[in-house]
Amino acid sequence: MTDTPARRRLPSAARVKKLPSWSVLAAGALAGGLLGGAYGLFTPDTYTATSYVVAVPTAKSTPEAARGFAQAYGRVATQLAVLGDAQVWAGVPVRTLREKVRAATSPDAPMVAVSATSARPGLAVDMANAVSRALTQHAEHTKDSTQVRLVQFSRAVRPTSPTSASTTVTTAVGASAGGLLGGLALLVRPGRTRRGDEPVPVPSVPGPATAADVHGQR
């Protein structure tokens, strides 16, 4: 008597097999959307401010040399020698500047873009301008040997909108990722069998003796 409910209860693997394909995709998309929305809702917005400095050749140098030194200055903009001076004007430690400041250059223009990211728009501006100022001062100390000066081209301005992804975007990305994982789960899901878990019967081939008896009867 006690075995009847246990026999009627399907195992978890069989239940998964009986689920329609669209339910797995919908569940994955729903879970991913919820996780993505929660991430965008509880993650604070970040703001990015960018300042620009340009390499200017002196009378003894050439524009090609200025472009080359701009590439070099872009690589040293986030080094300790520059950030050590920038922390005084930015009011943050070197570790914060190293994590939040990035420098980018262009092969076509002798310009260095210094970008800083922070949850506070004003702090992002201060960090970008501080690193640019420290970088131009280091370049000024070596202008006699490089014959290239680094001057301020554009100061960073206070950003008006965050650069981090909005909740809508994170929800959409999460739902897409969840649907993709659901599709992958369908690919690895065990295939359906006949009558639940019963194996499909394999057709048997008669042996030589059986075949001979059949021909003899004819």
Mean of pLDDT values over 91-110: 93
pLDDT at 178 over 80: no
pLDDT at residue 4 tops 60: no
Task: Identify the pLDDT of residue 161.
Answer: 83
The region of weakest confidence among 37-51, 120-134, 200-214 is: 200-214
**Looking at residue 127, what is its pLDDT?**
96
pLDDT exceeds 90 at position 169: no
The SS3 call for residue 16 is helix
Q: What is the pLDDT of residue 194?
A: 47
Angle at which helix 80-90 crosses helix 121-141, to 10 degrees, equals 130
- What whole-number distance in Å separates Cα of residue 141 and Cα of residue 217? 111
Inform me whether the pLDDT recorded for 104 exceeds 90: yes
What confidence category does residue 200 fall into, taking pLDDT thresholds of 50, 70 and 90?
Answer: low
Q: What is the rounded distance in angstroms from the CA atom of residue 190 to the CA atom of residue 75?
A: 53
The Cα 112–Cα 151 span in angstroms is 10
pTM summary value: 0.62
Pick from 6-10, 79-83, 214-218: least confident: 6-10
Q: Higher model confidence: residue 211 or residue 105?
A: 105
pLDDT, tens digit (0-9, with 9 covering 90-100), for 21-46: 666 667 777 777 677 666 655 567 78
pLDDT band at residue 87 using 50, 70 and 90 as cut-offs: very high
Check residue 10 and give its pLDDT: 47
CA pair distance 46, 64, nearest whole angstrom: 37
**13-17 mean pLDDT:** 54
Least confident range from 62-76, 157-171, 197-211: namely 197-211
Mean pLDDT for the stretch of residues 60-85: 92
Calculate mean pLDDT across residues 82-103.
94
Q: How confident is the model at residue 205 (pLDDT cuts 50, 70, 90)?
A: low
- Structural contact between residues 66 and 57, judged by C-beta atoms closer than 8 angstroms: yes
Identify the band that residue 100 occupies on the pLDDT scale cut at 50, 70 and 90: very high
